[in-house]
Structure 1
Amino acid sequence: MAALRTISSLPATASRSLLRSQSTATPLARSAAAACLQVQQRRDDSSLASSKPTTAIPSWGYYKSKKTEGSNKVFGYFMVGSMGALSAAAAKATVQDFLVNMSASADVLAMAKVEVALSSIPEGKNVIIKWRGKPVFIRHRTSDEIDEANNVTISSLRDPQADEDRVKKPEWLVMVGVCTHLGCVPIGEAGDYGGWFCPCHGSHYDISGRIRKGPAPLNLEIPEYDFPTDDTLIIG
């Protein structure tokens, strides 16, 4: 043990000399000398590392682009524009598919408009057709019925409305046949005023479809319609 302490206390040059002497050194001495060299090498490496400055800023030049600033901007603008164009195309396709799926089907569009031949409706008669799932009353009024509708005092009505505001041609009255009280279907040519009567709750409408008596708050609704010819009516 004393020999090991002696060898470990030797300087590095002496340890190297001891390692090179093949004849005079024992195996134990040579092992101790090698250990001393390793310890000395670690000390030298530690002192060298501690001598480097810790505040040095690393260089990032290796990661920088070799192209000019203008080329980099052109590439960036191109990528942004391409992504914007692709996003716009995808959004357009999505919205278009959504609108196509939400649009009305062919059978619904077929019911959107109804054409009626007026020549088949005699004067003084009612015709009921189906439009968008609702009944529509078409009345071919006589001259006496037109005069009766115009001789009503507007201010006395619950829902004041002149007859001329409810028709496009005086002889043709077109109304949605749904009672404005609870959605029942009134009966034509009935009631106290010779127009329509709702037997469910007792609402009476006159020859212009205006509410005159009963719980209904409003006149019968007038749908959108037109006369493309004198003998043709298109509803919707």
Structure 2
Amino acid sequence: MSTGMGGSGSPAEATRRDFLYIATGAMAAVGTAVALWPFIDSMNPTADVLALSSVDIDLSSVEVGQRITAMWRSRPVFIARRTPEEIARAKADDSDPGLIDPATDASRVIQEEWLVVVGVCTHLGCIPLGQDPAAPRGDWGGWFCPCHGSVYDTVGRVRRSPAPRNLDVPPYEFLENGAVRIG
């Protein structure tokens, strides 16, 4: 008479079989991960893309009332060191019912003296005029898009259509060394 403990059904043999299944599965998982790693890693941005993701601009030589243009992600960024008059006018216009895309001055700047906006018209992507002191700036002293006539004020708020919204504010921060980091 058989007790069921002999042959291939012994507890020791079942434990060995379970171990082999687990070991084989673990080796297959490790092998798959090793084989897929180069493909997964290729989805990360390359070093040249990471280098372009942020740019530092020295602001120490920018005088009050001066505007400069920097490039970030192949787009112009307008940086303006605003005068006290421009700041006062922008704050006074915060509650103007004629704003097409209402936004306060404080919501568009980190330090009220500095304005940082992407210099691309929000209508069709033209580059507005106004960085050069001799260029047309429109009735609000900001920027004028020559393509279709959109006008922006000194905070980059759209004041005359066809632009549907304000100039975009990129992510930026001021550094301790007198520079601004965009991106």
Does TM-score exceed 0.5, indicating one fold? yes
8 Å Cα contact 1:203/1:213 also seen in 2: yes
Q: How many residues align?
A: 172
In the alignment, structure 1 residue 77 sits paired with structure 2 residue 18? yes
For 2:103, the aligned partner's letter is Q
Q: Which residue of 2 aligns with 1:228?
A: 175
Structure 1 residue runs without a partner (length 5+): 1-64
Q: Which residue of 2 aligns with 1:163?
A: 105
Structure-2 separation of matches of 1:171 and 1:95: 51
Q: Which residue of 2 aligns with 1:87?
A: 28
**Higher RCO (CA-CA < 8 Å; seq separation 6+):** 2
Q: 1:173: how far off? A: 0.2
Residue 122 of structure 2 is aligned with which of 167, 180, 187? 180
Structure-1 separation of matches of 2:164 and 2:90: 19
Deviates more, 1:84-93 or 1:164-173: 84-93
> Whose radius of gyration is greater, 1 or 2?
1
Q: Which residue of 1 aligns with 2:142?
A: 195
Which of the two has greater helix per residue? Answer: 1
For 2:20, the aligned partner's letter is M
TM-score by length of 2: 0.87
Moved over 4 A (4+): none
In the alignment, structure 1 residue 141 sits paired with structure 2 residue 77? no
For 1:157, the aligned partner's letter is L
Q: Which residue of 1 aligns with 2:92?
A: 151
CA gap 1:98/1:74 in 2 versus in 1, 3 angstroms: same
Q: Which residue of 2 aligns with 1:117?
A: 58
Structure-2 separation of matches of 1:196 and 1:186: 6
Pairwise CA RMSD: 1.7
Q: How does 1:5-154 map to 2 (within 5 A)?
A: 66-152=7-93, 153-154=95-96
8 Å Cα contact 1:154/1:161 also seen in 2: no
Structure-1 separation of matches of 2:181 and 2:126: 24
Q: 1:93: how far off? A: 2.6
Seq. identity, %: 44
Structure 2 residue runs without a partner (length 5+): 1-5, 132-136
